[in-house]
């Protein structure tokens, strides 16, 4: 029986059914319908259904080809042989190396975090000191020139680094890391150049006064550091070591990268516990919609929860938690050591600015009916503003991607434009505010002397301060601290808060997407805290809550409206205020803002991932998937190999397709009937082809191969490396020879029957972190495999392209 016909036999029936669906008729795929269909004449129709979903995506601000990761353990003969022969010493080496890597990741990320903070505080501090100095001398134009000049210079440097060296480093990096952990790989996501640009670009960008955070980039940085360690060394730089081979697979690499992301969180927020929590969340494979409860004292913990939830959504495999604890503890200890060193004044302007904690627990949280009204209002505002924010970010990103496509110079120009705009806002808008008299009962100096504080003098005379300048002419961290300050009800004017909110809201939207490393969290907290305080001011006559708590609730509502988390924020704020009685308020504001925002659009990170074209597998199945079964989305024609296959056939298949997995079928005379042997991977085939242990006859030669190769020869090389088919030359004689694929065939592939509901298949695929899922027939007399499902076959574009009459949101 011909192999090609096998595949088609399976497909005829499918196509008949598909026609029905394509015509817009609703298919009754029930027992009776099916039984009748099975009796109809099978037309030997040969429709090749191709999956046309894009194999490229935007990483940072660049378009890259993407691949899927493979978390499945390839249980072939070589693996089993290796597993049986593995000695205790090797297990010991592996564990030792894992701990050593955890230490290195912790140390590295801690150092980078410290360096980042100290650099930002010093660069931005110098810039701000220069400006205020000139301002105090009433040389206003010189001050603006200095301020804007510094900003544009720093921004240009950041933009140039990013555009010329590593476009993948643009943006927050969270969507990319999220995608990686979901199983999507692109070389540039975690490349060394990305790391370099992420570190220095982030420092320059934050120092340049952009409305961006450094937390997202920090997470990306941690992941990059871990990824470099997991590459298994480099032959080019003679950095090879036998032990490193243990990490040459996607499972262990993913563990390391989870570790690195956790270290990044820890470094960004000085939150070792949060970092580990984050990493542990990674370990929760099938975490679906839930969120996580934290242990914060500072509002920055909010940020962690963000990452937590973000990352929680796409966990695939087990992660070894103990190393993560270790890593983040190391980060914390490194940071702490440096900070203690710095508080002695040896680090320049760096003081408490970088690694701060917010504490509003001093404020009393008793509340009345009016407060509840205010909180509901906050929630509604947060929901509306949040969904509008997401909508606008999406539009802006689309426009920017057109600009960014035109080349590096356009990218840099865009960065400079935004930098100028930001500078004008930051320097120009404070002029709109009136000078206010300093309160008399202060423990700090007013107006502020030195780099940071609540009371900037700006153009005001002694004894007066400009509240808007206190927000604009500070680092973003200090601005947040100012907004959260309790017992300072009247510090900020309503008009000032209004102006600041408007500026930050729109600057935040237009800044994300330019070619610099830019976190999204700080803009959201800033804007949220601002309108929270604003609402607090409006209700101050009838409300008992402190303005700082209002700022907190505002930040929560905006976070809820953009990021759409509820549970985690709830507890964080509970912990933050240390008062259980505030819990209902926080729950309320989050529920309201999320509910309001959800009726408009999706969360901001979901939108960005979709916009970037990353084939992200959701944890849940879409409603329309319930109408379809697994075989309905299988694409073809299916290319299969025999257990002992002709070299030419393999080379031809590898050349003409981009497939990464091929089913292997044992056929007569080696077996009584065709039977499914398993799946071979492209990379394994290439190793075997390169070795050229071919046979002249179609005979079993697996033992030979088992002796000639070890499992590590088939280990997955570092990203961007690996054997390429073009590099292997075959002469005509070789192409006519045979090769035994049994030793490298994964004999335990995951399978579903063809009638498995697509929704169930999608959840299974996602839950197990698969790259290939075999679809097997439900009846006898058919080839033993119907097709292979990959990530791309579950994408809505593909499914809705095949069945345009399916209504994406209808449930019938």
Calpha distance 329→326 (Å, rounded):
5
Calpha distance 21→618 (Å, rounded):
25
Query: Which of 230/275 has CB closer to a copy of itself?
Result: 275
CA distances from 374 to 362, 459, 588 (A): 21, 35, 11
The verdict on 375 binding a copy of itself (CB under 8 A) reads no
Instruction: Please count the other Cβ atoms lying within 10 Å of the Cβ belonging to residue 502.
Output: 15
- Among positions 603-632, residues that touch a copy of itself (CB under 8 A) are 626, 629
**Binding residue (CB under 8 A) for a copy of itself from 318, 489, 646, 659:** 318
- Among positions 747-776, residues that touch a copy of itself (CB under 8 A) are 747-753, 755-757, 760, 764, 767-768, 774, 776
Beta carbon of residue 543, minimum distance to a copy of itself (angstroms, whole number) = 21
- Among positions 292-311, residues that touch a copy of itself (CB under 8 A) are 292-296
Query: What angle (nearest 5°) sits at the alpha carbon of residue 202, between those of residues 233 and 515?
Result: 95
The verdict on 710 binding a copy of itself (CB under 8 A) reads no
Question: Which region among 327-335, 365-373, 531-539, 800-808 touches a copy of itself (by CB under 8 A)?
Answer: 327-335
Question: Which region among 116-124, 278-286, 436-444, 596-604 touches a copy of itself (by CB under 8 A)?
Answer: 278-286
Contact 185, 66 (CB under 8 A): yes
Query: Which of 684/742 has CB closer to a copy of itself?
Result: 742
Contact 715, 592 (CB under 8 A): no
The verdict on 31 binding a copy of itself (CB under 8 A) reads yes
Beta carbon of residue 103, minimum distance to a copy of itself (angstroms, whole number) = 13
Calpha distance 383→596 (Å, rounded):
5
Query: Which of 466/568 has CB closer to a copy of itself?
Result: 568
Count, residues near a copy of itself per rule CB under 8 A: 102
**Binding residue (CB under 8 A) for a copy of itself from 743, 787, 789, 793:** 743
Beta carbon of residue 360, minimum distance to a copy of itself (angstroms, whole number) = 17
**Binding residue (CB under 8 A) for a copy of itself from 148, 161, 190, 273:** 273
The verdict on 73 binding a copy of itself (CB under 8 A) reads yes
Q: What b/e string do you get for 442-459 counting C-beta neighbours within 10 Å, with b at 16 or more? A: eeeebbbeebbbbbbbbb
Contact 766, 620 (CB under 8 A): no
The verdict on 336 binding a copy of itself (CB under 8 A) reads yes
Calpha distance 785→680 (Å, rounded):
14
Closest CA to 438 of 461, 418, 420, 422: 461
Query: Which of 723/764 has CB closer to a copy of itself?
Result: 764
Beta carbon of residue 1, minimum distance to a copy of itself (angstroms, whole number) = 9
- Among positions 569-608, residues that touch a copy of itself (CB under 8 A) are 570-571, 574-575, 580-581, 583-584, 587, 591
Q: Is 4 helix (H, G, I), strand (E, B) or coil?
A: helix
The verdict on 396 binding a copy of itself (CB under 8 A) reads no
Calpha distance 339→332 (Å, rounded):
10
- Among positions 494-533, residues that touch a copy of itself (CB under 8 A) are none
Beta carbon of residue 785, minimum distance to a copy of itself (angstroms, whole number) = 9
The verdict on 812 binding a copy of itself (CB under 8 A) reads yes
Rounded to the nearest 5°, which phi and psi values hold at 635?
-105, 160
- In the DSSP assignment, the letter for residue 659 is -
The verdict on 790 binding a copy of itself (CB under 8 A) reads no
Question: Which region among 206-214, 365-373, 472-480, 746-754 touches a copy of itself (by CB under 8 A)?
Answer: 746-754
**Binding residue (CB under 8 A) for a copy of itself from 386, 523, 783, 787:** 783
**Binding residue (CB under 8 A) for a copy of itself from 2, 48, 84, 346:** 84
Q: Is 27 helix (H, G, I), strand (E, B) or coil?
A: coil
- In the DSSP assignment, the letter for residue 344 is I
The verdict on 38 binding a copy of itself (CB under 8 A) reads yes
Contact 211, 504 (CB under 8 A): yes
Dihedral over Cα of 223, 226, 227, 228: its sign: positive
Closest CA to 10 of 676, 668, 662, 784: 784
- In the DSSP assignment, the letter for residue 171 is B
Beta carbon of residue 77, minimum distance to a copy of itself (angstroms, whole number) = 5
């Amino acid at each position: 029986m011909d192999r090609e016909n096998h595949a088609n036999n399976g497909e005829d029936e499918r196509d008949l059914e598909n026609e029905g669906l394509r015509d817009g008729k609703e298919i009754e795929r029930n027992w009776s319908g099916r039984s009748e269909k099975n009796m109809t004449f099978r037309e030997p129709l040969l429709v090749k259904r191709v999956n046309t979903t894009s194999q490229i995506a935007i990483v940072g601000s660049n378009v890259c080809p993407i691949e899927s990761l493979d978390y499945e353990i390839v249980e072939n003969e070589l693996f089993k042989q290796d597993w049986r022969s593995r000695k205790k010493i090797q297990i010991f080496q592996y564990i030792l190396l894992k701990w050593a890597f955890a230490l290195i990741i912790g140390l590295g990320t801690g150092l980078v975090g410290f360096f980042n903070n100290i650099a930002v505080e010093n660069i931005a501090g110098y810039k701000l000191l220069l400006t205020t100095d000139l301002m105090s001398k009433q040389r206003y134009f010189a001050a603006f020139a200095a301020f804007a000049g510094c900003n544009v210079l720093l921004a240009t440097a950041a933009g140039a680094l990013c555009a010329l060296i590593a476009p993948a480093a643009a943006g927050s990096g969270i969507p990319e890391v999220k995608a990686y952990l979901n199983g999507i790989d692109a070389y540039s996501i975690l490349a060394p150049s990305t790391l370099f640009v992420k570190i220095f670009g982030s420092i320059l960008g934050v120092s340049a006064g952009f409305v961006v955070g450094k937390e997202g980039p920090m997470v990306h940085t941690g992941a990059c550091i871990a990824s470099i360690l997991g590459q298994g060394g480099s032959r080019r730089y003679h950095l090879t070591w036998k032990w490193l081979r243990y990490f040459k697979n996607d499972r262990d690499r993913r563990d390391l990268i989870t570790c690195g992301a956790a270290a990044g969180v820890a470094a960004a927020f000085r939150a070792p516990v949060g970092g580990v929590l984050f990493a542990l969340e990674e370990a929760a494979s099938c975490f679906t919609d839930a969120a996580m409860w934290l242990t914060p004292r500072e509002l920055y913990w909010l940020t962690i929860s963000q990452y937590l939830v973000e990352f929680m959504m796409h966990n695939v495999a087990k992660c070894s938690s103990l190393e993560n604890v270790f890593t983040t503890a190391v980060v914390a200890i490194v940071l702490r050591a440096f900070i203690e060193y710095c508080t002695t004044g040896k680090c320049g302007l760096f003081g408490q600015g970088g690694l701060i904690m917010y504490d509003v627990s001093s404020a009393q949280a008793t509340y009345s009916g009016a407060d509840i009204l205010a909180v509901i209002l906050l929630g509604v505002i947060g929901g509306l503003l949040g969904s509008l924010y997401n909508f606008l970010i999406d539009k802006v990103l689309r426009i920017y991607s057109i600009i960014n496509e035109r080349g590096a110079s356009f990218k840099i120009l865009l960065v400079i434009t935004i930098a100028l705009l930001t500078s004008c806002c930051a320097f120009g808008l404070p002029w709109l505010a009136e000078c206010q008299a300093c309160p008399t009962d202060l423990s700090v100096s007013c107006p502020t002397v030195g780099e940071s504080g609540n009371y900037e003098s700006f153009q005001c005379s002694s004894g007066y301060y400009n509240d808007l300048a206190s927000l604009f002419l500070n680092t973003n961290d200090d601005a947040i601290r100012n907004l959260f300050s309790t017992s300072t009800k009247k510090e900020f004017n309503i008009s000032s808060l209004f102006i600041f909110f408007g500026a930050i809201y729109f600057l935040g939207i237009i800044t994300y997407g330019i070619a610099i490393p830019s976190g999204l969290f700080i803009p959201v907290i800033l804007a949220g805290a601002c309108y929270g305080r604003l609402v607090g001011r409006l209700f101050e006559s009838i409300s008992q809550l402190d303005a700082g708590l209002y700022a907190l609730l505002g930040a929560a509502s905006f976070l809820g409206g953009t990021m759409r988390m509820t549970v985690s924020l709830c507890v964080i704020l509970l912990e933050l205020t240390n008062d259980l009685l505030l819990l209902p308020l926080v729950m309320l504001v989050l529920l309201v803002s999320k509910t309001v925002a959800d009726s408009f659009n999706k969360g901001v990170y979901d939108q960005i991932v979709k916009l970037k074209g990353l084939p992200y597998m959701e944890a849940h199945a879409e409603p329309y998937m319930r109408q379809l079964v697994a075989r309905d989305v299988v694409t073809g024609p299916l290319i299969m190999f025999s257990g002992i296959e002709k070299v030419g056939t393999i080379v031809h298949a590898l050349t003409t397709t981009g497939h990464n997995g091929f089913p292997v079928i044992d056929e007569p005379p080696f077996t009584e009937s065709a039977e499914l042997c398993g799946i071979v991977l492209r990379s394994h085939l290439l190793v075997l082809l390169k070795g050229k242990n071919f046979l002249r006859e179609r005979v079993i030669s697996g033992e030979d191969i088992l002796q000639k190769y070890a499992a590590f020869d088939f280990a997955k090389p570092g990203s961007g490396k690996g054997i390429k088919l073009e590099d292997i030359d075959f002469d005509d004689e070789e192409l006519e020879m045979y090769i035994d694929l049994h030793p490298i065939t994964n004999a335990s592939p995951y399978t579903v029957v063809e009638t498995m509901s697509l929704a169930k298949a999608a959840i299974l695929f996602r839950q197990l972190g698969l790259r290939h899922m075999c679809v097997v027939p439900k009846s006898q007399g058919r080839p033993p495999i119907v097709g292979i499902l990959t990530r791309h076959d579950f994408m809505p574009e593909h499914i809705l392209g095949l069945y345009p009459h399916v209504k994406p949101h209808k449930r019938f």
